[in-house]
Amino acid sequence: MSAAAPDGGDPAAERHRRILALARGAGRVTVDDLAARFEVTPQTIRRDLNVLARRALLSRVHGGAIVTSGVDNLAYAKRRGVATGAKAAIGAAAAALIPNGASLFINIGTTTEAVAGQLVAHRDLLVISNNLNVIDLLDGHDGIELVVVGGQVRRGDRAVVGALAMRFIESFKVDVALIGASAIDPDGSLLDFAADEVQVTQTIARNARQVILVVDASKVGRAAPVRVGRLDMVDYLVTDQPLPEELLRACHEHRVQVIEAG
């Protein structure tokens, strides 16, 4: 039986308040963890999360909820703390797809940074990135040549974006593009929050022979306003949990190889 509210009020309202506090502290909450914490059924937690989502206080994602609306993303530093275990597993699985001697683009994103961290044992890589965090991660490692994309630096996440960045990227044709997305619709639409970031992602994908998309399960079914593209621009999708049936069908339709890490 779930505990009553400490002031004798509505237990559901108190639970909602505490769920929000947990979500704001961690960036994300899951149904299973909340059910165990509050000693209620998963169905009760799903109803709670749906109520909070209807009030625009949380956004529902597969298996839980995150603190964001459909038009605003979490701050970049906060995103680093969301699904860290999943991102580490995805990073290792995606890095295993990249052979020694390859040339690659690495786009902005905390999941793409997790992949970059797994590339330090590779040899003879050429890494071109508009993500200054990736450059810092790989700087000084033997066997990795780094090229920084030129253009405007966005302070919030240290991404290089804008027309100059796109023209710079178009000077290359690489083996692999490593990209992320803020959201994936069940129909296979890839979505993001910032139009300038989307334009760079599209340019990166067009100028690579193979595209690897890395996303954790929290991105599936999430809302975001700007379309990056569809799954037909992707060769591999690396994630951490089984995909919903509709999205899995879309991957098969577009011949996207799905890799479930861990």
pLDDT of residue 84: 72
Q: List the chain domain ranges.
A: 11-67, 77-260
Regarding the domain delimited by 11-67, which CATH topology (the fold level of the hierarchy) does it fall under? Arc Repressor Mutant, subunit A (1.10.10)
pLDDT, tens only, 182-231? 889 889 999 998 888 899 999 999 999 999 999 988 888 877 889 999 99
CA distance 101 to 181: 26
Q: Within its chain, how far is the Cα of 92 from the centroid? A: 15
pLDDT, tens only, 92-104? 999 999 999 999 9
Read off the pTM.
0.74
Instruction: Domain 77-260: state its class.
Output: alpha beta
With b for 16 or more beta-carbon neighbours within 10 A and e for fewer, the 191-216 pattern comes to bbbbebbbbbbbbbbebbebbbbbbb
Give one DSSP letter per residue of 162-223, joined into a string.
SHHHHHHHTT--EEEEEE--SEE-TTSEEEES-HHHHHHHHHHHHTEEEEEEE--GGGBT--
pLDDT, tens only, 70-96? 444 555 555 555 557 788 999 999 999
pLDDT, tens only, 38-78? 999 999 999 999 998 887 678 787 888 876 654 445 555 55
